[in-house]
Structure 1
Amino acid sequence: MFTEETFPSTRNPSGSESNVVDATTPFSSAVDARFRMGASRSPEGKEITVDSRSLLRDGERWLPVMGEFHYARYPRTEWRDELLKMKMGGIDIVATYVFWIHHEEIEGEFDWHDQRNLREFVALCGELGLYSVVRGGPWCHGEVRNGGLPDWLLASGCQPRSDDPAYLRPAHRLYEQIARQIEGLLWKDGGPVIGFQCENEYGGPAEHLLTLKNIAREAGIDVPLYTRTGWPELTTAPPPGELMPLFGGYPDGFWDRAVSEMPPGFAENFLFRTVRADVSVATDQLGVREIGEEPENRYYPYFACEIGGGMMPSYHRRIRIAPADITALALAKIGSGNNLQGYYMYHGGTNPEAKLTTLQESQATNYWNDLPVKTYDFQAPLGEFGQVRPHYHSLRCLHQFLRDFGPALSTMPTFLPEMLPKNTADDSTLRWAVRTDGRSGFLFVNNYQRLAEMPPKSNVRFDIRLGGGTLCVPSGPVTIPANSSFFWPLHLSFNGADLIYATAQPLCRLTAGQTTYVVFSTTGDVPAEFVFDATATVESTTGTVTATASEIRIARITPGTDAAIRLRTPANTRLVVILLDEKQAMTCWKAELRGQERLFLSAATLICGDDSVRLSATDPADFSVSILPAPALMDQSMTLEPTNDGLFQHFAIVRDAPAATLPVSVEQIRAAGTPRPVSMGSAGVAEAPTDDDFGNAAVWRIVLPQPEDLTRDLILRIRYYGDVARIYRNGVLLNDNFYNGDPFEIGLRRSAPGIYTDELLLKILPLSPDAPIYLPADAWSQTDNQAAPVIEIYETYTAELTVVDDNGSLPSTHPYEPSSFQKFRANTKT
């Protein structure tokens, strides 16, 4: 039973009514609902189920992270490395669209080969220990031609996306084909496929979605989860429990009709709120809607499938994403109660070649926007050519937290403060929320909003009213940093030691023997303060200790790789707190190596196999790693001698970068002509240029030096000013870019060796100063359409360290095949 004494910090309440959350309402479970899902048990007896609060794995709460990656938009030979990057980034579930037009462009001729091989992709997910959700359409969108519907289907006269039998017959055939591709790979078979989405962004009668679900089941797609997008509102209410509604939210949208910064609606996603729907999604096709909630949502847990991992530029909206746009929005969704953190997109790609047409969405096909012909990079955490972006690392920190603390978090509803922002323009009211089960919980703060300068908030304390009293955090007023987002723990128990609160963000925890290590990150300049129940005993600390009869307060802690705090718990186990600064936290990884979970600190991108660690970086100076607990490691047949790095052992890897960057020869063939007048397309927004328009483009011939090693991961980076840039290889379009101020990048390795000998032409269309488009203000600052592009090559280097056995020999197992699923034959089924 709680008493005021349980919360010693209540003796000096902050008195700040603006920072009060009342979470005294007794916790009650969500509405009891019976879900009509598919087979939930694997041959090994493992179960994946769902209730109205969360997913469950073998009866235990589960808050997974899902990332979208389109197999048909990425070379098959590179899937393995990219999926491993996703896994190391904290992804548990790989979601992927099956675009009908990618597979049956010509009626009756299905293509499941090479990078269109769904079966091999899903099997590889399973082999690498990743779950899979197949988003099967028939209509998908995904910025694909006709939303993924083949041209022949539209020409047939049927009524798409309806129960018209003339539509359902070919749709049934599509589902049967998908079922054949994933046959034997379903969860009930011991495979990775745990979910199937019917349709996408569908706003008609619910009966059509139920028809599609029944067709899927008849075809043999029997999975633990059947889903739909939770937007827009259906015209008829679906029976409860048939399809799980999944939601989303983006920092900005290429689809909006406005050509101004941050159209109304998108900023709402940076607020904490309990309404799940995002009315700014798909305003091109659905228009502007009022914020509301479908009554049926009370039956379901709050799940998301489309939290923006980035954003594509369209021709009329050249959005440029900042990494913090993505991280802050992701944190806001977690703080708002989301229990399935699904991103669209997590990995970028390139539209594949087709037989009859190009495959991008365009106004020329009576769709809403003009997208690039080839690139679908999406400014995602992992780019079109595998580039690792800063938000890959910041999201990875969040995902490590969810993996270790998500099961508890999933039981905690969201409570909003008594004083909320008046609107998204209100930058003076602090934005925060608490998720709690009545005792334990987490305090979330988001003082960030895209393209807004959010000022610091001074003299802040939080009064959190729980069942046993009011918890005041921290002990004295602090200043919340400008443009910051973070969360702090409340009443977490570690082996019997109760952490009452900390003004530091938990990253992950690790148990080794009788010792539990918990890693935290500082919050900007906010002083780190840890308050424990007095039943614990402080053995050592880098800070100062103040003790009372009920609590131990540790402050003025120095962040670093040593133990910030060592405690002896009432259970006679040890708790070690590691406090990293924010820069160090971005280099913190947790992964299994040689059958043991370990902590890693490295600025490189890591991939851990059973017995090896691969480091990748664009700067060889980043080739070092600190490990806790550390095994013996070998690099290029030489055993490495570690040095002490606090609690870690530090391994330095020496690699010499090439003496000089690879030179690129650039020759101008034609100067740019007069900028074309930009017309409005059928959907009422600026229309992208046609192939003929590029007759007016500046043309540059690029000659690349051929490296001796064609497997080197080289990327061509082009800094330019203009409207649209295209690269042609022997007259065939290789890639394209809608200018938004960022460089245009093209991976070279996948096109080797021909790309080094074939003719490469760069065409840059001049930009009209009065083009009716949105472009970031600084991107307009360069106005010289005749300026020469700056072209360079950069490289991603790799180093691989291998665990040395006790006898000094190397292990014989494959280093990159950690598998919790059976291995399946991935041969194409036709």
Structure 2
Amino acid sequence: MRRFCSPCLSLCCLIGFFGSETRAADRLVATVHEPAPPAAPAETFAMGAAVSPAGDKLTVDSQSLLMNGRRWMPAMGEFHFSRCPEGEWREELLKMRAGGVRIAATYVFWIHHQEAEGLFDWTGRRDLRRFAQLCQEAGLKLVVRIGPWCHGEVRGGGLPDWLLAKDFPSRRDDPRYLQYVRDFYGEIGEQLAGLMWKDGGPVVGVQLENEYRGRAEHLLTLKRLAREAGLDAPLYTRTGWPTLATPMPPGEILPLYGAYAEGFWDRSTRPMPGRYWMAFRFSPLRTDAAIATDLLGEREARDPQGVELYPFLTCELGGGMTPSYHRRVRIDPADVETLALVKLGSGGVLPGYYMYHGGENPRGELTTLQESQANGEWNDLPQVNYDFQAPIGQYGQLRPHYHALRRMHLWLDDWGEALAAMPPTLPAERPVGREDHGTLRWAVRSDGHAGFVFINNHERLADLGPKRGVRFEVELPEGDAVTLPRDPVDIAAGTRIVWPFGLPLCDGLRLEHATAQWVTSAEGQGGRTVFFAATPGVDAEFVLSGVGIEVESKGRVRQEGDQRVVDSLTPGRDVALTVRTPAGETVRIVLLSEADSLALWKLEWLGRERVLLTEAGLVVDGGALRLTSSDSAELAVGVWPADDLAPKGLPRAAADGVFARFDLDAEPAPPLDLVVEQVRQAGPPREIPLGNSPKPVAAAPAAEDFAAAARWTVRLPETLDPASDPLVRIHYVADVARVSFGDELVCDDFYHGRPLEIGLRRWGHGAAAGDLSIELLPLQRGAPIYLPADAWPAFDEGKPFARIDRVELVRRRVAELKPSNDRD
């Protein structure tokens, strides 16, 4: 996209408020100034080797990351390799790539690799080198978060017990501590030898420490030790919270930020305590005051001095949340999508999610490896389960926010370079205080000529209500005015959208504005096709300009001055409007329904980028499109463009709008019954003590407490093949659940109102051996925990409650579409 310069752009939002849902009518005004040059150019940053053997150069300035001098705005997703069996890494990384993630991030937990002093383990699920190699094979770059202290809800924050037992302090420049760190970093360096960016490998970044509030000099020491170990990377990062005890010299280490919809760590047992609500409002602040309130306490959100010298990068946008024993936070997928949209509208240039893929804690040889109050830490976490309600679950499940985030990432693939150069502007009038639910939340990013309007009408656990009569008026410096939309519309509660204005579609054609969300675009079949998502409850209108353009549409087309206005469109899979320019260029617009836009993918397959439409899970693996779903009817995929596929030996396709639809041959799985039997009633309820933390909260049950748990057995069908990756879904109500095969604990769960899912593929040896055992400790009325209100049962005369409603077997079906000469 070309850059435009102009003195300023005045943006006004006229919102007519009617009824009790909104405030009285106001005129909200924001002024977008000409973008300033970077406050700190790339030459001022003291990063590592930036150039790959192929000549690609990765740098950073105060505005964004730069790839070969062009602004680069990738999505980054956290996936802990040691929390997933190594045999599943490849498929899960392909899912991340298909979801629009371009950088994988992972902690390297010291205790996972050196539980006993002198014995390092880099095998199996701890094989960092193999994980990095698979990232590269999947087309992902990699950021390693090497601690030494990581947190990640791991025992000791990742520092081994034997190290913490030494008679010297950790996390500071004590030479005795640093010698052990040097050894640990040296091991990581050996694992990643030849895999750094400068070597042609995927590793582009190294995070040092985590949530560190000591002296900056210690982080600089860690940076030096990392480089001495061979970890020479284009990017060195740290978490931008909390404030360091001494200032960091400019340009040495990049601060990355975060925000969560709600956290497990708060001491309160109320919903949405503290300042989580601030994450749902556009703001000039990068620092979030709600992260790590257990460690850092309640505080005001305040950015450190000199923040403008760095780009607004994030590494911990909450992709979900893990429940702790005392806080059973249940995340709505809309919360996750909203966090990402709000941070982008506030100026973010790297959406980085923690977690993007859930996991499970590995089995320790000496202790369990989760954070616990019994170990003197702040919270009690499940011994095994670290699913995190993430976009991709611990057993590879794709959740609704996976699809919502993918839609956003597709847009960033098209417009991220331009968006990174567009500073944010907030309106003069914004919501005031926590209880202001009537003022519309919106922001603009613009280069002074083109841009995007970000609109959010969702806040976790709050009813913002519809906003009536919304209309944005954009006054351009040349004196033109763009009305967005041309007539006022209502913005429904829960809406979270981005509307474009001033975008060049091709030479001689400009999109003045659209009241629909750009999803993606691709070249093919004699032109460019752009896929938009209709905004629920809003009639889509497209306003186009260009000398001599011809517009055809199934909707209404009218001329207004030198512009063409297209509206009265019905969302669908066919072309909604076609525009041709005098130079012979063609642009087609497809207006998808909200549901179809969430089923849209764009991946390179058979030699070119293609837009794909399927409700199934989807990855590209070489020449194959691999679809996965528990519903055989979903094993179909629409492909565009498809005009070159006929010679490739694919099955016959049917027309489905612009798509060529392939229905893959997958017979429905025959039903298999589970036999569920209760074999033990619950014993007397335990007294729930406080834990052993600096600010203690309710303590999770110990292993011996499960002697009084109610117990069920689940007989799996003898014909079930665990290798087919089935799930057992347990609908239950209790305090805590533990699931085992024999003496082997498979998963545990702190009940929070959602079913517990267990993937059987990785437990095939146990599944073949016999019954699944489910133990439930009863939930007690008045337990000192936070649990969503609708998750509490109706207690019978106050008696503790433990019940299994049903146990399902969810069978995941797989089908592939690939050329006949690639078939086995």
Compute the TM-score of the two structures, normalised by the length of structure 1: 0.94
Q: How do 1:377-776 and structure 2 match up within 5 A?
A: 377-469=387-479, 470-496=481-507, 497-512=509-524, 514-535=526-547, 537-630=549-642, 639-660=650-671, 662-683=672-693, 684-707=696-719, 709-776=721-788
* C-alpha separation in 2, matches of 1:61 and 1:387: 33
Letter aligned with residue 20 of structure 1: L
Contact 2:650 2:818 in 1 (8 A): no
Which of 255, 262, 268 is the matching residue for 2:265? 255
* C-alpha separation in 2, matches of 1:13 and 1:328: 23
Instruction: Name the residue aligned to 2:28.
Output: 20
How many residue pairs match? The answer is: 804
Moved more, 462-471 or 588-597: 462-471
* C-alpha separation in 2, matches of 1:140 and 1:191: 24
Which secondary structure does the structure 1 equivalent of 2:673 belong to? coil
Note the aligned Cα RMSD (angstroms). 2.3
Instruction: Name the residue aligned to 1:825.
Output: none
Mapped pair 1:277 → 2:287: yes
Measure how far apart 1:654 and its partner are.
3.5
Q: What per-residue deviation string (whole Å, max 9, x for no partner) do you get for residues 424-469 of structure 1?
A: 3211000000000100100000100011112000011113344334
* C-alpha separation in 2, matches of 1:251 and 1:212: 31
Measure how far apart 1:719 and its partner are.
1.0
Letter aligned with residue 625 of structure 2: V
Mapped pair 1:794 → 2:804: no
Which of 66, 83, 99 is the matching residue for 1:73? 83
Which secondary structure does the structure 2 equivalent of 1:119 belong to? helix
The structure, 1 or 2, with the larger RCO (C-alpha pairs under 8 Å, 6+ apart) is 1
Instruction: Summarize the Cα distance change of 1:752–1:465 in structure 2 as closer, same or farther, 3 Å threshold.
Output: same
* C-alpha separation in 2, matches of 1:29 and 1:130: 30
* C-alpha separation in 1, matches of 2:16 and 2:154: 55
Instruction: Summarize the Cα distance change of 1:278–1:452 in structure 2 as closer, same or farther, 3 Å threshold.
Output: same
Contact 1:21 1:463 in 2 (8 A): no
Which of 26, 36, 40 is the matching residue for 1:32? 40
Which secondary structure does the structure 2 equivalent of 1:674 belong to? coil
Residue segments in structure 1 that go unaligned for 5+ positions in a row: 805-809, 815-830
Mapped pair 1:315 → 2:331: no
Instruction: Name the residue aligned to 1:807.
Output: none
Measure how far apart 1:212 and its partner are.
0.4
Instruction: Name the residue aligned to 1:826.
Output: none
Contact 1:347 1:381 in 2 (8 A): yes
Measure how far apart 1:682 and its partner are.
2.1
Contact 2:737 2:748 in 1 (8 A): yes
Measure how far apart 1:618 and its partner are.
1.1
* C-alpha separation in 1, matches of 2:627 and 2:32: 48
Contact 1:718 1:791 in 2 (8 A): yes
Instruction: Name the residue aligned to 2:116.
Output: 106
* C-alpha separation in 1, matches of 2:232 and 2:10: 53
Instruction: Name the residue aligned to 1:824.
Output: none
Measure how far apart 1:675 and its partner are.
2.0
Contact 2:196 2:202 in 1 (8 A): yes
Measure how far apart 1:51 and its partner are.
0.7
* C-alpha separation in 2, matches of 1:602 and 1:15: 39
Q: What per-residue deviation string (whole Å, max 9, x for no partner) do you get for residues 497-553 of structure 1?
A: 110100000001111264111110011111101111142523311111121332111
* C-alpha separation in 1, matches of 2:5 and 2:33: 16
Measure how far apart 1:3 and its partner are.
13
Which secondary structure does the structure 1 equivalent of 2:242 belong to? coil
Instruction: Name the residue aligned to 2:191.
Output: 181
Instruction: Summarize the Cα distance change of 1:650–1:289 in structure 2 as closer, same or farther, 3 Å threshold.
Output: same
Mapped pair 1:228 → 2:244: no
Q: What per-residue deviation string (whole Å, max 9, x for no partner) do you get for residues 379-400 of structure 1?
A: 0000010011111101100010
Q: What per-residue deviation string (whole Å, max 9, x for no partner) do you get for residues 152-203 of structure 1?
A: 0110122111111121110111111111100000000000000000000001
Instruction: Summarize the Cα distance change of 1:548–1:782 in structure 2 as closer, same or farther, 3 Å threshold.
Output: same
Mapped pair 1:373 → 2:383: yes
Instruction: Name the residue aligned to 2:21.
Output: none
Instruction: Name the residue aligned to 2:151.
Output: 141
Contact 1:474 1:503 in 2 (8 A): yes
Contact 2:5 2:448 in 1 (8 A): no
Moved more, 14-23 or 141-150: 14-23
* C-alpha separation in 2, matches of 1:199 and 1:523: 42
Which secondary structure does the structure 1 equivalent of 2:780 belong to? coil
Compute the TM-score of the two structures, normalised by the length of structure 2: 0.94
Mapped pair 1:47 → 2:69: no
Measure how far apart 1:313 and its partner are.
0.3
Which secondary structure does the structure 2 equivalent of 1:23 belong to? strand
Contact 1:13 1:472 in 2 (8 A): no
